Structure 1
Amino acid sequence: IFLTGYQNAAYGKRYAERLATLRSAEAKAVPGSTVVTEAAARNLFKLMAIKDEYEVARLYTDGSFAAELSKQFQSYEKLEFHLAPPILGRRGNDGKPKKSSFGPWMLKGLRLLSALKGLRGTAFDLFSLTAERRRERQLLAQYEADLELIASALSPGGIEAAAALASVPALIRGYGHVRQASAEKAAGERSRLVERLVKATERPELQAAE
């Protein structure tokens, strides 16, 4: 339901179908086991529901931000937003993204941006051109490919490796340069787990041949 609101019904269906395929494969390979599907449910959601520009805009304009302001302040003279949109590409002397200040007019811009979420991932999505968004798409595509590998390679001996591989996105944390660094470390762990899963799948076949 959340992903349907985040993007659209097709996006939510894509998530559900991925999990259904994996759930079926896990039940067939290891009856009664759900550990891989549960890990995939958490981590696929994480990669599909990233806090991008459209989601930030939605969070600021869905009423919760205004309600929180009302709780903390009876009144305020000026509203100022400090944001670091990747599309601006501003960086400080340390090379890290530099925040810019925006006045109360930004709320109108955020409302418009939230309404344009349907452009996310399309040819009309200007934010998709940034390096950060390209990396996010690559991470999701890689993870969906990994889920296909897991579904085809699941075996009793490989259940632990499969669950660990399905949990790799959990190693990716933070935003900007912090997220990029953790993603690079996660990539190394992913490679190790893919090899481990494949070996676990091949082992029963070798034993059968003997």
Structure 2
Amino acid sequence: MATAADTGNTRTSVWLSVRPAAPARRRSGGGAFGLDLERITGATVRLLDTEGPAQFSMRRLAADLGVAAMSLYWYVDTKHDLLELALDRALGELRLPPGGPAAAAREGWPGRLRLLACGYRRLLADHPWVGPLAAAYPNIGPHARAFDAALQRLLDATGLADSGRTGAHLAVWQFLHGCGGTARRVPDGDFGLALDVLIAGIEAKAAADPAP
């Protein structure tokens, strides 16, 4: 699967690649210098927070961990793998609304959508690199899929027809990365107003074109 982060060569997402397991001493967390994939991914998130993706390199990460850069390749094939892993790790910080469509309908999907949107906005503020990486890499890690499933459950509760749900999904996604992102970050009040307009539009579409 090619991604926007590539330089002309087709690469496979880390979530789709099959990589031989690391030696047992490393799988158990007892590798050289106590390295394991969890520690490496956590360090990647911290480095991206402080320096951003443009400055990220395996050599810089290895220096932060106090290891040789080559030791990182026991766990990943490329730095793109680590960027994908870090992206999904950050998405795991989101608190997703529990329950299925029935719960969303019972509690009111607009309020749950507001919570989800505001939580994503805070995530982008805490990790400004998430927006650019989410646009550059396939969002198919476990936390990305959990976020999308939560959004789909909310949209199922709106009463929209199938085509309307597809459009609403795209509108919400574009809203989160445009109005919610830090590149064009708007004041909280303007963000809330824009979110109200988005929700009102979804409600109007559902009323005009309800699901069978």
Higher RCO, 1 or 2 (CA under 8 Å, sep at least 6)?
1
TM-score, shorter chain, exceeding 0.5: no
Per residue, is there more helix in 1 or in 2? 1
What TM-score comes out, normalization by structure 1 length?
A: 0.31
> If you compute each CA radius of gyration, which structure gives the higher value, 1 or 2?
1
